[in-house]
Amino acid sequence: MTSSGAPPPDTPREKLRDWKRSLSGLPNHIHWLITKGFCFLLGFAVLYVAGGAVLGWSAAYELLVAIKSPADTSCRPLAWLLSVAGWLLMPAFVGGVTGYLVSRQVENRRKQSAEDLLRAMEGESGPNRSGGGPA
């Protein structure tokens, strides 16, 4: 406590800890995008910037979209990393996030199971199952 009786202000570390704890109240997909997805994208950006600085920006882009072969560059290990990131890691990341979000939307809109829907449809059709039209 300070001399005025108020507690000392939070340190930056305590503020960061509190912020991370507050994220747990978010929906799972948003929590994952902020915590893990951000780290993945930051790593990808660092790799791209390193490739742009070492190989040139146009070469880094051409490696990401497989216009240029990694074997035709001056720094082959970095070129192979960029090539693999552009053609394997980013599509997997985007596809995974998209698939998860689409499946959540489908689950949210699907209130009844398929079996419940079939039972309801059979109940509405009534006892006449001969296939004839309305009487």
CB atoms within 10 A of CB 1: 7
At 54, list the tokens: 């070492």
**Alpha carbons 59 and 77: distance in angstroms, whole number:** 14
For the chain, what is the mean pLDDT? 83
Torsion of CA 16, 21, 27, 28, to 10 degrees: 90
Q: What is the pLDDT of residues 30-74, one digit of tens each?
A: 888 888 888 888 999 999 999 999 999 999 999 988 898 999 888
At 129, list the tokens: 């199952």
At 60, list the tokens: 């880094």
